[in-house]
Amino acid sequence: MARTDLWESDTALEDSDIGAGFGLRELLGLRGGTGGLFLLILELTIVLYMLRNLSASPAWAVLLALLLQAIAGALVLVVAADPLPWPVTAFVVAAGPAATVLTVVTLDKDQAGHMVWTTFATSYVMAVLALRGRMAAAWLGVVAVVAVDAATGIRIGATDGAISAALVPLGTVTAISVFVVIMRPTQRLLRILREEATIRATAEATMAAADSERIRQLSRLDRVARPILERIADGAELSPAEREECRLLEAELRDGLRAPQLMTDELGGAARGARSRGVEVVLLDDGGFAGAPKWVRQRVIDAATRELDAANAGSVTVRVLPVGRRVLATVLANAPDHDQRTEIDTDGNVSVST
């Protein structure tokens, strides 16, 4: 029971490593131009070996077997998912013994040596299948091919030919299986290194974004607050107009902290104008703009700007909702004579209710 659990854990870890993008296909560079060259070589090898059967088997059977092997060879390399999906795996596994049956069914004792040609082609396809994370399936295909060769050898009385044919896939897939097992620790190590690099890059990007935002906020603070702060530092007595300017400035700075995505020049100006008319303005940003198209964000800002420009009393609350909500943002205007609620959804549709 302990061995079974250990094997299942190891298999799951292997699949996790492959799923994380470090299958042997990636490790060996079997993608892009290199992958295309490898596919071409594999297909040419299959064709050359399979055509050797024309001297001993019917042409239709050889060509059909060649087609099966060529398709299997293409699928085992072209399909991107690792490990290889089960439907594709099933076809690749079945193609080998099916092609073998087609090319050996008409052989006699004098033609026993021709059994090796199809097994050569099959051995390469099964070896790549093992590289794609389906080692057990590859061995199932090998066993099926060996069984077909053994049955043929018994039928025609050529045991030596059957043994020779069986040794080809056994030797090839054994070598590849050992290689896969040896490379597993390297795969795990590369996965760990990539995860660490991703975490480090994410942390650096976060720090850079935070630093950029801090610089932007400091620059804005320096631009809008420095003059009045210098007057206060000089000990000058502020006039009523300057005190009002301080009140508006404090509200703008608070907006920049609570709703940075809403603080455009147009919306900031509309909010300042509304506050100067005695309107209570609240701007809130809960992160819903993340991932929203630019034109949808602009529609929210336009709707909020219109409400702020039209308000002369009461309050206006503009809120960007959290990510995942159907409604992206709301603009609630409370006036002495009426209340109005404007909603903008993630598709940019605007609805107004009173």
Asked if residue 264 and residue 120 are part of one domain, the reply reads: no
Asked if residue 193 and residue 262 are part of one domain, the reply reads: no
What letter would DSSP give residue 347?
T
pLDDT in tens, the chain (354 residues): 443 443 344 444 344 444 444 555 565 656 667 778 888 999 999 999 999 999 999 999 999 999 999 999 999 988 887 778 899 999 999 999 999 999 999 998 888 888 999 999 999 999 999 888 899 999 999 999 999 999 998 988 888 888 888 888 888 999 988 888 887 787 778 778 878 888 998 889 889 888 887 787 777 767 767 777 777 777 777 777 777 777 888 888 788 778 888 888 899 889 989 988 989 999 999 888 888 899 999 999 999 999 999 999 999 999 999 988 899 999 999 988 888 999 999 888 999 888
Asked if residue 80 and residue 178 are part of one domain, the reply reads: yes
Residue 37 domain-assigned?
Answer: yes
Asked if residue 266 and residue 164 are part of one domain, the reply reads: no
Residue 231 domain-assigned?
Answer: no
Residue 275 domain-assigned?
Answer: yes
CA angle, residues 6, 11, 12, in degrees to nearest 5: 100
Q: Which of 200, 223, 241 is the last residue of a domain?
A: 200
Annotate 260-316 with DSSP letters as a single string.
GGG--HHHHHHHHHHHHTT-EEEEEE-STTTT--HHHHHHHHHHHHHHHHH--SSEE
User: Which tokens go with 247?
Assistant: 């009140």
Residue 216 domain-assigned?
Answer: no
Residue 269 domain-assigned?
Answer: yes
Q: Are 284 and 320 spatial neighbours (Cβ–Cβ below 8 Å)?
A: yes
Residue 85 domain-assigned?
Answer: yes
Residue 212 domain-assigned?
Answer: no
Asked if residue 108 and residue 20 are part of one domain, the reply reads: yes
The whole domain housing 263 covers 258-353
Asked if residue 153 and residue 66 are part of one domain, the reply reads: yes
Domain count, the chain: 2
Asked if residue 264 and residue 155 are part of one domain, the reply reads: no
pTM of the model: 0.54
